[in-house]
Amino acid sequence: MLETIKKSVLTGVGLALRSKGEIEELAKEFAKQSKMDQTEAKQFLNECHKKYENSKEGFDKKIETAIEKILKKLDLATQSDMKLLNQRIDELMEKLSDTKKE
């Protein structure tokens, strides 16, 4: 029963949408109410931190993907497009500089 409750606390995007402090407080409160010993409470808190970070990374990637799709639909240049253009400009400037020296 305790495992089921722990898993339900650790699931979903809900963790990604909460602040790290809120997650920590929830974990501490849960540990206190379930009368965990200090080792179990630390382990549970570590699980919460890991799950939070994983959920946040997944959420961030989804947001990034959605923004990239929007930029493509709007036909706007992305940061990687701009980097490629800058590299090409640098190469052309270098070639132009070399031809002027000759």
pTM equals 0.42
Above pLDDT 70, what percent of the chain? 77
CB-side exposure of 63: number of CA atoms within 13 Å?
A: 9
What are the tokens at 73?
Answer: 């639909």
Higher pLDDT, 97 or 71: 97
Question: Which residue range forms the structural domain that includes residue 69?
Answer: 2-76
Residue 39 within any structural domain of the chain = yes
Residue 94 within any structural domain of the chain = no
Domain count, the chain: 1
Alpha helices by DSSP H, 1-102: 2-10, 13-17, 20-33, 38-74, 79-101
pLDDT digits (tens, 9 = 90+) for 23-62: 677 777 777 777 777 777 778 778 877 877 887 788 788 8
Q: Which pLDDT score is estimated for 44?
A: 76
Residue 48 within any structural domain of the chain = yes
Indicate the range of 2-11, 12-21, 37-46, 82-91 predicted with least confidence.
Answer: 2-11
